[in-house]
Structure 1
Amino acid sequence: MSAPLTRRALLFGRTAPAAPALRPPWALAEAAFASRCTRCDACVRACPEQVLARGPDGLPRFDAVAGECTFCGDCAAACATGALDATLSPPWELRARVGDGCLPAHGVVCASCREICPESAIRVPPGGRGAAVVDAERCSGCGACVGICPTAAIALSHAPLEVPA
C-alpha cells in the first residue's frame, strides 16, 4: 500500500513508486523471469481461473482481485521457456496483509475473508472487535480473500516465511 500522493508530488508529476508486480506462481526471480519470458501469453491462456493477465510491461501478472489461484500448475506446464518453474516450492512468497480499512477494526461485523480462505489462515475477532489477522504460516497467498473484501483492505505482498533457527 502506497503513501497518499502529496500536492507537491502531484504538481511536479511525481507519483508514488509502483508496487512490485505479482507474477504467476512458480515465477523465477524478477530479473530471470523478465529475461526468460517471451511474452507469449501461453500461461495467461492456460489459467483456468483466469487470474493471470498481461501487464503494461507485457509480462504476465497475477490479479488477485479477479479471483483465487488454485495452484493447478497449468500456467507452469504451458511455459516453454522455463520462466515458470513448477519445481520451486513454495510456488511464491505472497501472503495476505490486512490494511486499515478492515471493517471489524472499525466495529463492523464482517468475516468475508475468513469464510472464503481455503487454508483457514484468517481469524476475525468476534463481534467486530479488531481487524482480521492472517496466519502467515498457513496463508498460501492464493488471493481468495482479496477480491471478496468489501473495502479492499486486503492485499498480497512478498513476505518470505522465516525459517526457525
Structure 2
Amino acid sequence: MSDSEKYYQALMTHRHVSRRGLFRAFVTAAQQSAPEARAAIPVHPLPPGALPDAQFRARCTRCDSCISACPMGIVNRHEDGFPELRIEYASCDGCGLCISSCPAGALQPLPRFDTGLRPAFGNGCVNPVRACRQCVDVCPQQACVIGEAGVPQIDDARCNGCGECLVQCHAGAVKLAAIAATGA
C-alpha cells in the first residue's frame, strides 16, 4: 500500500486530519520523486515508549498490535517489518493505546509522554513582511516561541514531539528529527 493510500485510509478511519495535512497529501502525491536510497538497517522513529533500538528490535514480534491500536494512524509498518512513527498528516496525541496494546513489552509506559522527536525549523519560516506564528499558536505544550531572528525556537523541556507544528505548517518548514539518547 502506498503512502497516499495509507493516508486516505487513516483519513477515513481516524478522528482527525487537519486541512493542511490533507492539502499536503495532495501536493505530495502530485510530486514525482525518485525513491530514497536506504541504508541496510534503516533508522526510523519508533513508536512512543519504545525500548532502545537494539532491545526494541530483539523484543518486538512485529505483530502489528500497536499499528492497529493507533487511532491517529501514525504508527505504520516500515519496510523492515518493524513499526515506525510517521507524523506527516496527523500529530501524536499521546493516548498510549499503542503502548498498552503491545503484548511483547517492546513499548513501555512513559512517566512523561514523549515521542523522542523534536522539530527543526527551516528557512521557509522566515517571512520578512509578516511572521507566520502558526507553530507557536498550535503547540499544545507551548514549547514553540519566535526567536529574535524571527525563526521559531523550541523549548526542549516543554516539547513532547507530538508533531502538531509539522502538521500545521503551511510552508513545509518544519522537519522532525530524533533527539539524542540521554542514556537515562
Shorter-chain-normalised TM-score: which range?
0.7 to 0.9
Rounded Cα–Cα distance in structure 2 between residues aligned with 1:108 and 1:49: 32
Distance 1:46 1:16 in 2: 28
8 Å Cα contact 2:131-2:150 kept in structure 1: no
Q: Is the 8 A contact 1:26 1:88 kept in 2?
A: no
Question: Which one of 54, 70, 82 corresponds to residue 47 of structure 1?
Answer: 70
**Partner residue, 1:67:** 90
Partner of residue 135, structure 1:
155
Q: How far is the alpha carbon of 1:148 from its aligned partner?
A: 1.6
The residue number in structure 1 matching 2:173 is 153
Does structure 1 residue 100 correspond to structure 2 residue 123? yes
Give the share of equivalent positions with the same residue, in percent: 34
TM superposition score normalised by structure 2: 0.69
Q: In structure 1, how many angstroms separate the alpha carbons of the residues matched to 2:133 and 2:181? A: 25
Amino acid at match of 1:49: M
Of stretches 76-85 and 16-25 in structure 1, the one that deviates more from structure 2 is: 16-25
Amino acid at match of 2:107: L
Paired with 2:163 and 2:42, the residues of 1 have a C-alpha distance of 16
Contact 1:107 1:130 (8 Å CA) reproduced: no
Deviation track 1:46-78 (CA, whole Å, cap 9, x = no partner) reads 011211111111111111112111111100111
Q: CA RMSD in A?
A: 2.7
Deviation of residue 16 (structure 1)?
8.0
Partner of 1:10: none
Whole-Å separation in 1 of the counterparts to 2:108 and 2:141: 23
CA distance in 2 between counterparts of 1:50 and 1:95 reads 20
Q: Which structure 1 residue ranges, 5 or more long, are not aligned?
A: 1-13
